[in-house]
Structure 1
Amino acid sequence: MTSELVQPSPRKYVLFDVDGTLIDAVDNQRRVWEMWAGRYRLDADEVYRVALRTRPTETFAQVAPDQDPTECLAVLHELEDEDVRSGVYTAFDGASELLGTLPASSWALVTSNYEHRVRGRFARTGLPLPRVIVDAAAVEEGKPSPVPYLLAAEQLGAKPEDCLVIEDAPSGVEAGLRAGMTVWGVNAAVAVDGVHRHFGSLCEAVPDILAFARPEGSAGMG
Protein backbone atom coordinates (compact mmCIF):
# COMPACT_ATOMS: atom_id res chain seq x y z
CA MET A 1 0.00 0.00 0.00
CA THR A 2 1.42 3.35 -1.02
CA SER A 3 0.60 6.79 0.22
CA GLU A 4 0.80 9.99 -1.79
CA LEU A 5 2.94 12.78 -0.49
CA VAL A 6 0.84 15.85 0.28
CA GLN A 7 2.58 19.07 -0.66
CA PRO A 8 2.11 21.77 2.00
CA SER A 9 0.35 24.91 0.87
CA PRO A 10 2.61 27.95 0.37
CA ARG A 11 2.95 30.14 3.43
CA LYS A 12 0.94 33.34 3.20
CA TYR A 13 1.93 36.86 4.25
CA VAL A 14 0.00 40.06 4.90
CA LEU A 15 1.39 43.52 4.14
CA PHE A 16 -0.41 46.47 5.73
CA ASP A 17 -0.51 50.12 4.92
CA VAL A 18 -0.69 52.15 8.16
CA ASP A 19 -2.50 55.51 8.04
CA GLY A 20 -6.10 55.05 7.00
CA THR A 21 -5.78 51.27 7.13
CA LEU A 22 -4.74 50.35 10.69
CA ILE A 23 -4.71 53.77 12.34
CA ASP A 24 -7.27 56.53 11.86
CA ALA A 25 -5.05 59.58 11.35
CA VAL A 26 -7.40 61.79 9.30
CA ASP A 27 -7.94 64.36 12.04
CA ASN A 28 -4.22 64.40 12.81
CA GLN A 29 -3.27 64.94 9.19
CA ARG A 30 -5.80 67.74 8.81
CA ARG A 31 -4.55 69.44 11.98
CA VAL A 32 -0.91 69.20 10.86
CA TRP A 33 -1.66 70.70 7.46
CA GLU A 34 -3.77 73.45 9.06
CA MET A 35 -0.84 74.41 11.28
CA TRP A 36 1.53 74.22 8.31
CA ALA A 37 -0.75 76.50 6.29
CA GLY A 38 -0.86 78.94 9.20
CA ARG A 39 2.94 79.21 9.20
CA TYR A 40 2.79 80.45 5.61
CA ARG A 41 -0.45 82.46 5.91
CA LEU A 42 -2.22 80.21 3.44
CA ASP A 43 -5.84 79.05 3.24
CA ALA A 44 -5.93 75.88 5.33
CA ASP A 45 -8.87 74.30 3.51
CA GLU A 46 -7.25 74.77 0.11
CA VAL A 47 -3.90 73.43 1.33
CA TYR A 48 -5.53 70.32 2.79
CA ARG A 49 -7.57 69.75 -0.36
CA VAL A 50 -4.36 69.72 -2.41
CA ALA A 51 -2.43 67.67 0.17
CA LEU A 52 -5.03 64.90 0.07
CA ARG A 53 -4.22 64.07 -3.54
CA THR A 54 -0.53 64.95 -3.91
CA ARG A 55 2.79 64.21 -2.26
CA PRO A 56 4.16 66.93 0.05
CA THR A 57 6.68 68.30 -2.45
CA GLU A 58 3.95 68.55 -5.06
CA THR A 59 1.68 70.26 -2.53
CA PHE A 60 4.36 72.85 -1.76
CA ALA A 61 4.90 73.55 -5.46
CA GLN A 62 1.20 74.15 -5.96
CA VAL A 63 0.19 76.11 -2.86
CA ALA A 64 3.49 77.84 -1.97
CA PRO A 65 5.57 78.06 -5.18
CA ASP A 66 7.54 81.04 -3.84
CA GLN A 67 8.73 79.16 -0.75
CA ASP A 68 11.83 76.99 -0.34
CA PRO A 69 10.53 73.38 -0.62
CA THR A 70 13.28 72.11 1.68
CA GLU A 71 12.17 74.53 4.39
CA CYS A 72 8.52 73.66 3.74
CA LEU A 73 9.27 69.98 4.26
CA ALA A 74 11.29 70.64 7.40
CA VAL A 75 8.35 72.57 8.90
CA LEU A 76 5.94 69.78 7.97
CA HIS A 77 8.19 67.15 9.56
CA GLU A 78 8.49 69.23 12.73
CA LEU A 79 4.70 69.50 12.99
CA GLU A 80 4.21 65.80 12.27
CA ASP A 81 6.73 64.77 14.91
CA GLU A 82 5.05 67.00 17.47
CA ASP A 83 1.67 65.50 16.59
CA VAL A 84 3.02 61.99 17.19
CA ARG A 85 4.18 63.11 20.64
CA SER A 86 1.05 64.98 21.67
CA GLY A 87 -1.81 64.08 19.29
CA VAL A 88 -4.61 61.63 19.97
CA TYR A 89 -4.58 58.51 17.77
CA THR A 90 -7.13 55.75 17.36
CA ALA A 91 -6.65 52.29 15.92
CA PHE A 92 -9.45 51.09 13.67
CA ASP A 93 -11.76 48.48 15.17
CA GLY A 94 -10.31 45.04 14.62
CA ALA A 95 -6.69 46.18 14.26
CA SER A 96 -5.57 45.00 17.69
CA GLU A 97 -7.26 41.59 17.35
CA LEU A 98 -5.90 41.13 13.84
CA LEU A 99 -2.27 42.06 14.50
CA GLY A 100 -2.25 40.23 17.80
CA THR A 101 -3.43 37.03 16.13
CA LEU A 102 -1.16 36.98 13.08
CA PRO A 103 2.23 35.28 13.60
CA ALA A 104 4.87 38.01 13.99
CA SER A 105 6.89 36.68 11.06
CA SER A 106 3.96 36.63 8.66
CA TRP A 107 3.16 40.33 8.33
CA ALA A 108 4.80 43.67 7.68
CA LEU A 109 4.03 47.38 7.56
CA VAL A 110 4.54 49.30 4.32
CA THR A 111 4.12 53.03 4.85
CA SER A 112 4.80 56.31 3.09
CA ASN A 113 5.52 57.77 6.52
CA TYR A 114 8.68 57.34 8.60
CA GLU A 115 9.36 54.45 10.95
CA HIS A 116 9.85 56.56 14.08
CA ARG A 117 6.38 58.06 13.60
CA VAL A 118 4.84 54.66 12.99
CA ARG A 119 6.44 53.33 16.16
CA GLY A 120 5.15 56.35 18.07
CA ARG A 121 1.61 55.88 16.79
CA PHE A 122 1.64 52.16 17.52
CA ALA A 123 2.89 52.85 21.03
CA ARG A 124 0.06 55.35 21.53
CA THR A 125 -2.57 52.88 20.32
CA GLY A 126 -1.15 49.72 21.90
CA LEU A 127 -0.73 47.88 18.60
CA PRO A 128 2.07 45.28 18.27
CA LEU A 129 4.90 45.90 15.83
CA PRO A 130 6.18 43.41 13.25
CA ARG A 131 9.77 42.54 12.45
CA VAL A 132 9.59 44.22 9.03
CA ILE A 133 8.70 47.88 8.50
CA VAL A 134 9.30 49.47 5.10
CA ASP A 135 9.07 53.25 5.41
CA ALA A 136 9.71 56.29 3.21
CA ALA A 137 13.43 56.24 4.04
CA ALA A 138 13.84 52.62 2.93
CA VAL A 139 13.07 53.21 -0.75
CA GLU A 140 13.80 55.79 -3.41
CA GLU A 141 10.45 55.20 -5.08
CA GLY A 142 7.32 55.40 -2.96
CA LYS A 143 3.78 54.26 -3.70
CA PRO A 144 2.33 53.90 -6.36
CA SER A 145 5.65 52.27 -7.28
CA PRO A 146 5.66 48.54 -6.43
CA VAL A 147 9.11 48.90 -4.86
CA PRO A 148 7.98 49.29 -1.20
CA TYR A 149 5.79 46.19 -1.30
CA LEU A 150 8.38 44.14 -3.17
CA LEU A 151 11.00 45.12 -0.59
CA ALA A 152 8.72 44.05 2.27
CA ALA A 153 8.13 40.68 0.60
CA GLU A 154 11.87 40.24 0.12
CA GLN A 155 12.59 41.00 3.77
CA LEU A 156 9.93 38.50 4.84
CA GLY A 157 11.32 35.88 2.50
CA ALA A 158 8.01 35.79 0.64
CA LYS A 159 7.04 35.50 -3.00
CA PRO A 160 4.80 38.33 -4.25
CA GLU A 161 2.07 35.88 -5.25
CA ASP A 162 1.88 34.67 -1.63
CA CYS A 163 1.29 38.18 -0.26
CA LEU A 164 -1.95 39.96 0.58
CA VAL A 165 -1.87 43.77 0.61
CA ILE A 166 -4.36 45.65 2.81
CA GLU A 167 -4.83 49.25 1.64
CA ASP A 168 -7.22 52.16 1.76
CA ALA A 169 -5.77 54.52 -0.85
CA PRO A 170 -5.54 54.39 -4.67
CA SER A 171 -1.75 54.88 -4.73
CA GLY A 172 -1.24 51.97 -2.33
CA VAL A 173 -3.64 49.74 -4.22
CA GLU A 174 -1.78 50.48 -7.45
CA ALA A 175 1.54 49.69 -5.74
CA GLY A 176 0.29 46.32 -4.54
CA LEU A 177 -1.18 45.39 -7.91
CA ARG A 178 2.00 46.36 -9.74
CA ALA A 179 3.93 44.16 -7.30
CA GLY A 180 1.86 41.17 -8.42
CA MET A 181 0.11 40.72 -5.07
CA THR A 182 -3.47 40.15 -3.99
CA VAL A 183 -4.94 43.50 -2.90
CA TRP A 184 -7.93 44.04 -0.64
CA GLY A 185 -9.35 47.49 0.08
CA VAL A 186 -10.71 48.58 3.47
CA ASN A 187 -12.21 51.61 5.22
CA ALA A 188 -13.84 53.16 2.17
CA ALA A 189 -17.48 53.45 1.18
CA VAL A 190 -16.63 52.71 -2.44
CA ALA A 191 -14.10 50.17 -3.69
CA VAL A 192 -10.83 51.54 -5.07
CA ASP A 193 -10.35 50.58 -8.70
CA GLY A 194 -8.46 47.31 -9.12
CA VAL A 195 -8.89 45.74 -5.69
CA HIS A 196 -9.60 42.02 -5.66
CA ARG A 197 -11.97 42.41 -2.71
CA HIS A 198 -13.49 45.39 -0.93
CA PHE A 199 -14.54 45.77 2.72
CA GLY A 200 -16.29 48.80 4.14
CA SER A 201 -14.18 48.53 7.30
CA LEU A 202 -11.06 46.82 8.57
CA CYS A 203 -13.12 45.06 11.23
CA GLU A 204 -15.29 43.49 8.54
CA ALA A 205 -12.18 42.14 6.81
CA VAL A 206 -10.52 40.57 9.89
CA PRO A 207 -11.92 37.01 9.53
CA ASP A 208 -11.00 36.87 5.85
CA ILE A 209 -7.50 38.25 6.42
CA LEU A 210 -6.86 35.65 9.12
CA ALA A 211 -8.20 32.93 6.83
CA PHE A 212 -5.83 34.03 4.06
CA ALA A 213 -2.89 33.96 6.45
CA ARG A 214 -3.44 30.34 7.49
CA PRO A 215 -1.02 27.98 5.71
CA GLU A 216 -3.92 25.90 4.46
CA GLY A 217 -5.95 28.95 3.46
CA SER A 218 -6.68 29.78 -0.14
CA ALA A 219 -8.69 33.01 0.11
CA GLY A 220 -6.59 34.49 -2.71
CA MET A 221 -8.33 36.65 -5.23
CA GLY A 222 -11.90 35.53 -4.66
Structure 2
Amino acid sequence: MTSEPTQPAGKYVLFDVDGTLIDAVENQRQVWGTWSARYGLDPDEVYRVALRTRPMETFATVAPDRDPRACLAALHELEDEDVRSGVYAAFEGATELLSALPSGRWGLVTSNYEHRVRGRFARTGLPVPEVLVDAAAVAEGKPSPVPYLRAAELLGAGPQDCLVIEDAPSGVRSGLCAGMTVWGVNAPVAVDGVHRHFGSLREAVPEILAFAT
Protein backbone atom coordinates (compact mmCIF):
# COMPACT_ATOMS: atom_id res chain seq x y z
CA MET A 1 0.00 0.00 0.00
CA THR A 2 1.44 3.33 -1.02
CA SER A 3 0.96 6.48 1.01
CA GLU A 4 -0.43 9.67 -0.46
CA PRO A 5 2.22 12.22 -1.42
CA THR A 6 2.78 14.92 1.14
CA GLN A 7 1.45 18.30 0.07
CA PRO A 8 3.90 21.18 0.27
CA ALA A 9 3.42 23.64 3.11
CA GLY A 10 1.41 26.66 2.10
CA LYS A 11 2.83 30.14 1.80
CA TYR A 12 0.96 33.24 2.90
CA VAL A 13 1.28 36.95 2.17
CA LEU A 14 0.34 39.71 4.62
CA PHE A 15 0.04 43.27 3.36
CA ASP A 16 0.11 46.60 5.07
CA VAL A 17 -2.46 48.92 3.43
CA ASP A 18 -1.70 52.65 3.47
CA GLY A 19 1.54 53.32 1.62
CA THR A 20 1.81 49.71 0.48
CA LEU A 21 -1.35 48.96 -1.53
CA ILE A 22 -3.14 52.32 -1.35
CA ASP A 23 -1.38 55.60 -2.09
CA ALA A 24 -2.76 57.58 0.86
CA VAL A 25 0.27 59.57 2.03
CA GLU A 26 -1.08 62.93 0.92
CA ASN A 27 -4.49 62.09 2.39
CA GLN A 28 -2.95 61.31 5.75
CA ARG A 29 -0.92 64.50 5.68
CA GLN A 30 -4.02 66.56 4.88
CA VAL A 31 -6.10 64.89 7.60
CA TRP A 32 -3.44 65.47 10.23
CA GLY A 33 -2.92 69.01 8.95
CA THR A 34 -6.61 69.84 9.39
CA TRP A 35 -6.65 68.17 12.80
CA SER A 36 -3.54 70.16 13.85
CA ALA A 37 -5.15 73.44 12.80
CA ARG A 38 -8.13 72.74 15.06
CA TYR A 39 -5.78 72.48 18.04
CA GLY A 40 -3.36 75.23 17.05
CA LEU A 41 -0.46 72.83 16.56
CA ASP A 42 2.41 72.68 14.06
CA PRO A 43 1.16 70.30 11.34
CA ASP A 44 4.64 69.20 10.29
CA GLU A 45 5.60 68.24 13.83
CA VAL A 46 2.28 66.46 14.42
CA TYR A 47 2.61 64.50 11.19
CA ARG A 48 6.18 63.53 12.03
CA VAL A 49 4.98 62.02 15.32
CA ALA A 50 1.89 60.46 13.76
CA LEU A 51 4.01 58.51 11.28
CA ARG A 52 5.69 56.68 14.17
CA THR A 53 2.85 56.13 16.62
CA ARG A 54 -0.78 55.17 16.94
CA PRO A 55 -3.24 58.08 17.36
CA MET A 56 -3.62 57.90 21.15
CA GLU A 57 0.17 57.92 21.50
CA THR A 58 0.37 60.85 19.07
CA PHE A 59 -2.11 62.85 21.14
CA ALA A 60 -0.17 62.14 24.33
CA THR A 61 2.96 63.52 22.69
CA VAL A 62 1.68 66.56 20.79
CA ALA A 63 -1.38 67.53 22.86
CA PRO A 64 -0.90 66.14 26.39
CA ASP A 65 -3.27 68.72 27.89
CA ARG A 66 -6.17 67.78 25.62
CA ASP A 67 -8.85 65.14 26.14
CA PRO A 68 -7.58 62.19 24.07
CA ARG A 69 -11.12 60.94 23.44
CA ALA A 70 -12.11 64.27 21.93
CA CYS A 71 -8.90 64.28 19.89
CA LEU A 72 -9.66 60.82 18.57
CA ALA A 73 -13.27 61.71 17.75
CA ALA A 74 -12.10 64.72 15.74
CA LEU A 75 -9.54 62.60 13.89
CA HIS A 76 -12.08 59.88 13.11
CA GLU A 77 -14.48 62.48 11.73
CA LEU A 78 -11.80 63.81 9.37
CA GLU A 79 -10.65 60.35 8.29
CA ASP A 80 -14.18 59.16 7.57
CA GLU A 81 -14.79 62.25 5.45
CA ASP A 82 -11.58 61.53 3.56
CA VAL A 83 -12.83 58.03 2.73
CA ARG A 84 -15.98 59.58 1.26
CA SER A 85 -14.44 62.50 -0.62
CA GLY A 86 -10.64 62.17 -0.71
CA VAL A 87 -8.68 61.53 -3.89
CA TYR A 88 -6.39 58.51 -3.82
CA ALA A 89 -5.55 55.42 -5.84
CA ALA A 90 -4.19 51.92 -5.61
CA PHE A 91 -0.49 51.59 -6.38
CA GLU A 92 0.33 50.22 -9.82
CA GLY A 93 0.26 46.44 -9.76
CA ALA A 94 -1.98 46.14 -6.68
CA THR A 95 -5.10 45.00 -8.56
CA GLU A 96 -3.20 42.44 -10.62
CA LEU A 97 -1.40 41.12 -7.56
CA LEU A 98 -4.34 40.75 -5.18
CA SER A 99 -6.55 39.23 -7.88
CA ALA A 100 -3.91 36.60 -8.67
CA LEU A 101 -3.18 35.47 -5.12
CA PRO A 102 -4.82 32.20 -4.02
CA SER A 103 -7.93 32.69 -1.90
CA GLY A 104 -7.28 32.11 1.78
CA ARG A 105 -3.54 32.63 1.38
CA TRP A 106 -3.33 36.38 2.01
CA GLY A 107 -4.58 39.06 4.36
CA LEU A 108 -4.35 42.70 5.39
CA VAL A 109 -2.73 44.08 8.54
CA THR A 110 -3.39 47.76 9.06
CA SER A 111 -3.19 50.43 11.75
CA ASN A 112 -6.34 51.92 10.22
CA TYR A 113 -9.91 50.72 10.79
CA GLU A 114 -11.73 48.09 8.77
CA HIS A 115 -14.59 50.29 7.54
CA ARG A 116 -12.11 52.78 6.06
CA VAL A 117 -10.09 50.04 4.38
CA ARG A 118 -13.26 48.58 2.88
CA GLY A 119 -14.34 52.03 1.71
CA ARG A 120 -11.05 52.71 -0.02
CA PHE A 121 -10.87 49.24 -1.53
CA ALA A 122 -14.40 49.63 -2.91
CA ARG A 123 -13.47 52.93 -4.54
CA THR A 124 -10.24 51.61 -6.05
CA GLY A 125 -11.60 48.20 -7.09
CA LEU A 126 -9.27 46.14 -4.91
CA PRO A 127 -10.56 42.80 -3.57
CA VAL A 128 -10.90 42.43 0.21
CA PRO A 129 -9.60 39.16 1.72
CA GLU A 130 -11.23 37.10 4.43
CA VAL A 131 -8.57 38.11 6.97
CA LEU A 132 -8.27 41.79 7.84
CA VAL A 133 -6.59 42.73 11.11
CA ASP A 134 -7.23 46.39 11.94
CA ALA A 135 -6.50 48.73 14.85
CA ALA A 136 -9.56 47.51 16.76
CA ALA A 137 -8.61 43.83 16.48
CA VAL A 138 -5.49 43.92 18.66
CA ALA A 139 -4.44 45.50 21.95
CA GLU A 140 -0.97 46.34 20.62
CA GLY A 141 -0.29 47.92 17.24
CA LYS A 142 2.80 48.03 15.07
CA PRO A 143 5.75 47.87 15.79
CA SER A 144 4.53 45.13 18.14
CA PRO A 145 4.47 41.71 16.44
CA VAL A 146 0.90 41.15 17.69
CA PRO A 147 -0.98 42.34 14.55
CA TYR A 148 0.97 40.11 12.17
CA LEU A 149 0.86 37.14 14.53
CA ARG A 150 -2.92 37.55 14.82
CA ALA A 151 -3.29 37.57 11.04
CA ALA A 152 -1.17 34.41 10.73
CA GLU A 153 -3.30 32.73 13.39
CA LEU A 154 -6.51 33.58 11.53
CA LEU A 155 -5.04 32.17 8.30
CA GLY A 156 -3.85 29.02 10.07
CA ALA A 157 -0.26 29.83 9.11
CA GLY A 158 3.03 29.61 10.93
CA PRO A 159 5.15 32.78 11.03
CA GLN A 160 7.90 31.03 9.08
CA ASP A 161 5.48 30.59 6.16
CA CYS A 162 4.43 34.25 5.99
CA LEU A 163 5.74 37.03 3.78
CA VAL A 164 5.06 40.58 5.00
CA ILE A 165 4.89 43.45 2.49
CA GLU A 166 5.49 46.84 4.14
CA ASP A 167 6.59 50.38 3.40
CA ALA A 168 7.23 51.85 6.88
CA PRO A 169 9.79 51.17 9.62
CA SER A 170 7.19 50.38 12.31
CA GLY A 171 5.52 47.79 10.08
CA VAL A 172 8.83 46.26 9.06
CA ARG A 173 9.80 45.92 12.71
CA SER A 174 6.42 44.35 13.48
CA GLY A 175 6.87 41.69 10.81
CA LEU A 176 10.46 40.95 11.78
CA CYS A 177 9.57 40.61 15.46
CA ALA A 178 6.82 38.18 14.43
CA GLY A 179 9.50 35.96 12.87
CA MET A 180 8.32 36.49 9.30
CA THR A 181 10.04 37.28 6.02
CA VAL A 182 9.69 41.00 5.31
CA TRP A 183 10.00 42.77 1.98
CA GLY A 184 9.90 46.53 1.63
CA VAL A 185 8.20 48.42 -1.19
CA ASN A 186 7.47 51.98 -2.35
CA ALA A 187 10.54 53.61 -0.85
CA PRO A 188 13.65 55.00 -2.55
CA VAL A 189 15.93 53.25 -0.05
CA ALA A 190 15.51 50.06 1.93
CA VAL A 191 14.03 50.23 5.42
CA ASP A 192 16.45 48.77 7.96
CA GLY A 193 15.97 45.03 8.43
CA VAL A 194 14.02 44.09 5.29
CA HIS A 195 15.06 40.87 3.61
CA ARG A 196 14.45 42.35 0.15
CA HIS A 197 13.75 45.86 -1.11
CA PHE A 198 11.75 47.01 -4.14
CA GLY A 199 11.45 50.63 -5.20
CA SER A 200 7.78 50.08 -6.08
CA LEU A 201 5.02 47.56 -5.54
CA ARG A 202 4.92 47.01 -9.30
CA GLU A 203 8.53 45.72 -9.22
CA ALA A 204 7.67 43.28 -6.45
CA VAL A 205 4.56 41.73 -8.03
CA PRO A 206 6.21 38.78 -9.86
CA GLU A 207 8.36 37.93 -6.85
CA ILE A 208 5.40 38.01 -4.45
CA LEU A 209 3.38 35.76 -6.74
CA ALA A 210 6.32 33.37 -7.06
CA PHE A 211 6.53 33.17 -3.27
CA ALA A 212 2.83 32.48 -2.82
CA THR A 213 1.95 30.23 -5.76
1:105 partnered with 2:104: yes
2:17 matched to which residue of 1? 18
Q: Is the 8 A contact 2:18 2:24 kept in 1?
A: yes
**Is the partner of 1:127 in helix, strand or coil?**
coil
Report the AA paired with residue 183 of structure 2: W
Between the aligned partners of 1:4 and 1:104, the Cα distance in structure 2 is 28
Between the aligned partners of 2:57 and 2:10, the Cα distance in structure 1 is 39
Q: Is the 8 A contact 2:94 2:126 kept in 1?
A: yes
2:126 matched to which residue of 1? 127
2:51 matched to which residue of 1? 52
1:30 matched to which residue of 2? 29
Unaligned runs of 5+ in 2: none
Cα displacement string for residues 125-179 of structure 1 (whole angstroms, at most 9, x for unaligned residues) = 1101101101111110111111111111111111111111101111111111111
Between the aligned partners of 2:162 and 2:135, the Cα distance in structure 1 is 20
Q: Which stretch shifts more, 183-192 or 49-58?
A: 49-58
Matches within 5 A, 1:186-205: 186-205=185-204
1:208 matched to which residue of 2? 207
Report the AA paired with residue 33 of structure 1: W
Between the aligned partners of 1:67 and 1:149, the Cα distance in structure 2 is 32
Report the AA paired with residue 74 of structure 1: A
Cα displacement string for residues 164-222 of structure 1 (whole angstroms, at most 9, x for unaligned residues) = 110111111111111111111111111111111111110000000000001xxxxxxxx
Matches within 5 A, 1:66-85: 66-85=65-84
1:143 matched to which residue of 2? 142
Q: Is the 8 A contact 2:175 2:182 kept in 1?
A: yes
Between the aligned partners of 1:185 and 1:46, the Cα distance in structure 2 is 25
Cα displacement string for residues 51-109 of structure 1 (whole angstroms, at most 9, x for unaligned residues) = 22332222222222221111111111111111111111210010000001111211000
Report the AA paired with residue 104 of structure 1: S
1:172 partnered with 2:167: no
- Structure 1 residue runs of 4+, over 4 Å off? 3-6
The alpha carbon displacement at 1:44 in A equals 2.0
1:219 matched to which residue of 2? none
Report the AA paired with residue 182 of structure 2: V
Between the aligned partners of 1:164 and 1:12, the Cα distance in structure 2 is 8
Unaligned runs of 5+ in 1: 215-222
Task: Specify the structure having the higher radius of gyration (Cα).
Answer: 1
Between the aligned partners of 2:140 and 2:53, the Cα distance in structure 1 is 15
Report the AA paired with residue 98 of structure 1: L
Q: Is the 8 A contact 2:104 2:129 kept in 1?
A: yes
Q: Which stretch shifts more, 8-17 or 112-121?
A: 8-17
Between the aligned partners of 1:50 and 1:73, the Cα distance in structure 2 is 15
1:89 matched to which residue of 2? 88
Between the aligned partners of 1:201 and 1:120, the Cα distance in structure 2 is 24
- With the length of structure 1 as denominator, give the TM-score of the two structures: 0.91
Q: Aligned Cα RMSD in Å? A: 1.6
Between the aligned partners of 1:142 and 1:55, the Cα distance in structure 2 is 7
The alpha carbon displacement at 1:121 in A equals 0.7
% same residue = 78
2:7 matched to which residue of 1? 8
Q: Is the 8 A contact 2:97 2:209 kept in 1?
A: yes
Would you say how many aligned residue pairs link Structure 1 and Structure 2? Answer: 213
Between the aligned partners of 1:34 and 1:43, the Cα distance in structure 2 is 8
